[in-house]
Structure formats: structure tokens, C-alpha cells
Structure 1
Amino acid sequence: MEIQSVGASLIRPGQVLADRAALPAVSRWTQAVSEADGVCVIHLSPGADPCEITAELRERGLRASPNHVFRGQPLFFGGPASRPFPTPPIAHKPGRSRSGVVVGLLDTGIAKHPWWSGSDWYGQTAPECADATEGSQAGHGTFIAGLLTRRAPGAELSVHRVLDGDGIGDEATVVRALHRLRERPPQVLNLSFGGHTYDDRPPPLLSDAIAALPDTVTVACAGNTGSDRPFWPAALPSVVGVAAVDADEEERAPYSGYGIWVDACARGDWLTSSFLDGGDFAGYAAWSGTSFATALVAGAVADGAKSEPAKEVARRLFESEQARQIPDLGVLIPASL
């Protein structure tokens, strides 16, 4: 599907997201409407500008947004860790005890792996949630799943595929997946993707969808932008935005987003985890990026949630006076792997 660049943001050309209340106001520009799982994708007539129409709808007090494109945030540019590297098998023996905690993982999907192949939750994962095997971000979801299961032993993953093999997805797909999560809300939700909006304002339908999971701690990456420009959904007030620090857990990784909208940080450099089995890889890899720092923070919350509500765990972790605070990066959460 086509992607259009608007400033530093990416959108699906000719598409606006809205709820049903906006349909009459946009009817004269509408070629078709697809409605599913709480969101309408309005396909505009040729020549109609989705950003201009969004602005007009918002002036009328309606909830609308261009269909922003989001992308997973492993590191791809510069430095020695700009791609996944094969590693020897990682010593990790999954425990049999269950914590009772469910972690939602919206990503590229998940591949079969010894760390979870015999688990109940993997056996219940739908076939369409299998990780991509081709593309620049194939294995991204599997890598994150390994970080989550090691950081939060006994947690159950609820996997939903919203990104393709190149790590690309859009706001409509994410909002629809979030809507489906209402049936069984996870205690913790990991969103290792994101992007800028065309006007640097929060995307309203995405914000609404996350707010509809009030007991879930949503954790999202601050992006590999190296800037303080708000990166969504991490910059939403209801979301824990996570930046990356270096392998020594001392300084901001140079690629990491930062700013007053960031709540926490964790190691993002040269982490090792589960991966695809094929080619140069035998099921394990080393990779860097804010995507993976996010999984460490989400895992820390999930691990604490086995004995108290996830919201209370998050409050304790991120508002503790004893925790180390790094300016523009928030509270440091040690890797503990």
C-alpha cells in the first residue's frame, strides 16, 4: 500500500480515520468507507487532502486523523548494531509456574521457539499471528517476546500482528487491534512502534482506543529519532514512553528519542533475545533500539504485577523518589536479564 510523507510524518494517502459521527460532515469528499472494530476508514475522492480535511473536521469538534503510518523501532542507521546479528544460544530455561499476568504484544507476530513452544498461550495464538519471515523487521516481534518472557517469567503473551515484515503498519490497524483487546484486557501492553503525526498533536482515535483499556499499563517506545519531537503513541499522557540508554545504562543512546514526554528508559544497545531460525540465525540474535528498551520496561511492570495491580506497580516504579532519574529520559529501569 502507498505511503505519503507529510513533513516528518507518514500517512496513507487519501485516507482519514474518524468515528461514525464524522461521516455526514465528510460525505462530499467520500469515495468509500470501511468500518470495523470501532473505527471508520474514509477513502477520499481523488484530489482531497486528508490533512486539510482532518483539520476541518477537528474545527467542528469531531474526532478525526489522517491514517498515520507507524513503524517498529529497531536500529537501522549507523553504528555497529544497525541490524540483528546472529548469536549463540542463550541460556534460559522457561519456568513452569504461571504468574497470572497477561502481556499484550502488538507487533510483527511471533515465531515458534523453544522458550515458549510448549506453553498454553503459544498454543492458543492464532496462525495469522505468526512472525514474518521476510522483510527488514522479520523477527522483531519474536525478539521482543523473548525479552518479555525472560523479564517477566510465567507471564502469558497475547499476540496480535499489526506490522508487516518491514515493520510497517498504520493507525487504523492498531486502533482496531486495541478495540479487540477490550474483550480480555491485558495487564500490560507493549507497543514497540510509533511515528510522528502531521501536526505534532496526539492522534485522537488512537488515544481513545488506549484510554478504553483503563486498567492496562501501556508501554511504548520513544523512537529512534534522536530528537525531542513527540513520538506517538509514546507521547500520550496515558502511555509510558520509553527511551534507550547505552549498554552501561549511563547515557542516552544517541539514536533514542527524548524529552519531557518520556517517562522511563532502559538499556537499548546490544540486547540478546530469541529470533527466527533460518539463514545465518539459529533462533537467537543481538539487536539494538528503543523497541527493545520498551520490552524491558513492560516486562518489569509485568513481573511486579504478579503480586499487585499493574497500575500500582507502574506508580511505584516511575514515581519512586529512590529511583535514578535521567533528564529527558525519565526513570532508569535496570535490564535485570
Structure 2
Amino acid sequence: MFDREARLERMLARHTDAALVEPMAGRPTVVRRDQLLVAAEDAAAVEERVRRWHDFSRIEGGVCLMRLRPRARVDVCELSDRLRGDGLRPGPAVAPNTLLCGQPMWWSGPAGRPRPAAPPPVPAAAAPPRRQVTVAIPDTGLSPHPWYEDTDWYAEQRAEVAEVLDADLDSELDAQAGHGTFVAGVVLQHAPSARIRAMRVLGSDGACDELAMLCALRWLADWGRADVVNLSAGCCTYDDRPSPLLARAVARLSRAAVVVACAGNAATDRPFWPAALAQAIAVAALDGGERARFSNYGRWVDACAPGVNVVSCHVRFDGPRPPVDGVDPDLFTGYATWSGTSFAAPRVAGLIAATAAAEDLPAPAAAARVLDPARSRTLPGLGVVV
């Protein structure tokens, strides 16, 4: 059985200022208590309207984080609805500070964890690329690995993006430690000449709040050198509508880069953000020729790719569990197998990057080529098979 409840419990235990909210039955999400995100240009007007409960505000990455007094016990979801208005007139861009999470597969057992694997073939380009392509990966970071540790692009960012492996010091590899490294490896298997621009945004538990993701997306948009951006994380919202701030950030980023995002692992057609945004390519997971049973689906999904038992590069770590029949279940020597829409998305991102590099195409033209339904079959609710 899919273990969403246990996953939520782990997230809440790690983020003690967060709360599970469920305004619509069966459609939960997690938000930071007493926190609103407001577009900077709307901050003064919103602060005036919430002055009875306002504690403090700060501007970060073009977004105002507004903290309400805890003793006021304000429902930030209900307040967001009221502030946005009735839709007849444009209201302020405001949203709760929702938690996003990486999307490896989670089951009620060890299958959701990465497992040690034998090395796959070293990625190698069939021919020299006709142009340089950069893939940005805001994720858990990047650990040294033989596939890329001697490259100039890794040397430029090595210290700032190092993965955190055991943040809680329990001698176990944290739940999503190595997630960013694994995603980067999937990209490189399909686009060996790509330059990776990693960003450590998710914690080693795989979670970050919307504010952290907004700051990362704004930095990438200002940087302007990414051709493709892979987002193997996301969330559902309290009302199943996109956060207007996240929508604006992805729209701004997509003017210069193709944004590829995982569709999520709740086995539902409930919109998963930012994948469900029109400016993003939403990627579901396949198990063989069919939808992986954990994968989300729906009219908002654009593409699907293999997402079960994917093999890629990983971190080096030796956990405390003893060997079983001569096999150490938590000894990682740089390679792993893992499942989830998190690892279907970078396959699509990598193929777009490879097409752009090989054919000297702008990233949007390469994406149109990869996702052309005339060139590949499509599946209902899953989009183009990649």
C-alpha cells in the first residue's frame, strides 16, 4: 500500500513549524504555520489588510514573507482565499508557504529507498555536440562522482552544492540524500555533453518550502544561462489551484528555458505543481509500457518516461545495517537504483538537452521535437511516450 501517511508524518516531524491542512476531504497538503507569501509589489496593501495579526515581514528573492502572530491562530489558507478576492477583479498575488517535496517512490517498506546497484555504462556522446547546453537542477545538491568530478562546470560549484547525507546524525542515509546526484546522472546518461548547474534547494529529507523554490527560480531566471530546468519536486495545494507566485516564477523562467517537472507519486489526477502549469512539461512515470502504479496522471500531463528501477549515479555511504547473505543493503559505492516520477522527468530533460546540443536547436524547438506526437505514441492521461 502506498505510504503517504507515513511520509507526511516524517515531514511534519522534521519541519516542526509546518501543519497538515485538508480544506477538501482527501486532498491534504502541508504549509508553514502563520506564513503568507506575497508578491513584493502587493506587500504594503496586504500588510495593511492583515495588520491585526501581522508580526513581521521580509523581502527575499522578490517575494515578501509575511509572518502572522501565532497566538492569533489565523487559517492561512482561508486568509489567502479572502485576500485573492472573488476572481472578478485581479487581487494580490498571495499564497500560503506550502512545502514541496522530491518525488522518489515511497512504499510501506524499504522499496521506496534507493538500493545499491552495479555501475551502468559511463555516459559518452556519440558525436561532438554542435552547441553547449546547460541543464539546471534545483534539488538536494550534487556529490562528487567519477562521471563529472573532473569537469570545469562541477569545479565551479563543488563546495556550494555538496549533498548533506546524514543531517539528523542517526548514522542512516537521509531519506532523499543523493536525490540531486541521481537526477543529474539520469540527465547525463541521455545528454553526456550537458553542463549541469546544480542548486541545493531541497533538504536531505527531500523537502523545501515554496519560498526557497521561488528564490531558486528567480536566481535562475536572472542568471539566464540555463537551457533546460529539471524540477523533480512539487506539491499539491490546499485548493488545487496553482500558487500565483509559483506560476509567475515558472512563467518568467520559461521565457528563456524549458522547464521539465515531475508529475508526482500519489497515483491520482489531482494537479501537482509546478508540473501542472501550462509553462512546464509534466512527466509521469512508466513501468514497462504502462503507467507505474504510483504515478500521477491526467489531462495536465504532457509526457511519460521510464520511472521504475532506474539506475544512476549516487552518493558514497555505508550505513549501519549488517550484510545479508553477503550483500550489504546500505553500502553505496556511487551507484543506485531508484523509482519515481522524480527520475522520469530528467530522462525527458536530458533528451531535450541532447537534441538541442546535437542539432544546434534552441531548447523550445528541441522540446517540440522530443514531444512531437507524430514521432511517438501517446497514452491517455500520460501524454507522449519518451
Q: Which TM bucket (shorter chain)?
A: over 0.9
Q: 1:19 — aligned with what?
A: 39
Instruction: Pick from 19, 36, 56 the counterpart of residue 4 of structure 1.
Output: 19
Instruction: Pick from 157, 162, 180 the counterpart of residue 130 of structure 1.
Output: 162
Instruction: Pick from 195, 214, 217 the counterpart of residue 178 of structure 1.
Output: 217
CA pair 174-35 structure 1, distance change in 2 beyond 3 A: same
| Residue 135 of structure 2 corresponds to residue 103 of structure 1 | yes
Number of residue equivalences? 331
Distance in 2 of aligned mates of 1:79 and 1:316:
40
CA pair 184-25 structure 1, distance change in 2 beyond 3 A: closer
Instruction: Pick from 350, 363, 374 the counterpart of residue 310 of structure 1.
Output: 363
Distance in 1 of aligned mates of 2:180 and 2:317:
16
User: Secondary structure, in 3 states, of the residue corresponding to 1:305?
Assistant: helix
User: Secondary structure, in 3 states, of the residue corresponding to 1:52?
Assistant: helix
Letter in 2 for 1:22: A
TM-score, normalised relative to structure 2? 0.83
Distance in 2 of aligned mates of 1:147 and 1:318:
18
Letter in 1 for 2:211: A
Q: 1:261 — aligned with what?
A: 300
> CA deviation digits over 1:58-91, x for unaligned, max 9?
1161101000100000012158742111012222
User: Secondary structure, in 3 states, of the residue corresponding to 2:290?
Assistant: coil
Distance in 2 of aligned mates of 1:32 and 1:287:
42
Q: 2:56 — aligned with what?
A: 32
Letter in 2 for 1:26: E
Give 1 or 2 for the bigger CA radius of gyration: 2
Distance in 2 of aligned mates of 1:231 and 1:124:
33
Q: 1:222 — aligned with what?
A: 263
Q: 1:320 — aligned with what?
A: 373
Q: In the TM superposition, what is the alpha-carbon distance from 1:182 to its structure 2 partner?
A: 2.0
User: Secondary structure, in 3 states, of the residue corresponding to 1:159?
Assistant: strand
| Unaligned ranges ≥5, structure 2 | 1-14, 23-27, 167-173, 319-330
Contact 2:221 2:256 in 1 (8 A): no
| Aligned alpha-carbon RMSD (Å) | 1.6
Contact 1:206 1:233 in 2 (8 A): yes
Distance in 1 of aligned mates of 2:109 and 2:203:
25
Q: After the TM superposition, which of the residue ranges 34-43 and 283-292 deviates more from structure 2? A: 34-43
Distance in 2 of aligned mates of 1:164 and 1:131:
9
Q: 2:149 — aligned with what?
A: 117
Distance in 2 of aligned mates of 1:188 and 1:93:
19
CA pair 194-286 structure 1, distance change in 2 beyond 3 A: same
Contact 1:81 1:270 in 2 (8 A): no
| Residue 82 of structure 2 corresponds to residue 56 of structure 1 | yes
Contact 2:46 2:92 in 1 (8 A): no
| Unaligned ranges ≥5, structure 1 | none
Letter in 2 for 1:291: S
TM-score, normalised relative to structure 1? 0.94
Instruction: Pick from 341, 352, 355 the counterpart of residue 290 of structure 1.
Output: 341
Contact 1:216 1:311 in 2 (8 A): yes
Q: In the TM superposition, what is the alpha-carbon distance from 1:53 to its structure 2 partner?
A: 1.8
Distance in 2 of aligned mates of 1:127 and 1:53:
41
Contact 1:94 1:115 in 2 (8 A): no
Distance in 1 of aligned mates of 2:78 and 2:108:
36
Q: After the TM superposition, which of the residue ranges 76-85 and 97-106 deviates more from structure 2? A: 76-85
Instruction: Pick from 272, 275, 284 the counterpart of residue 234 of structure 1.
Output: 275
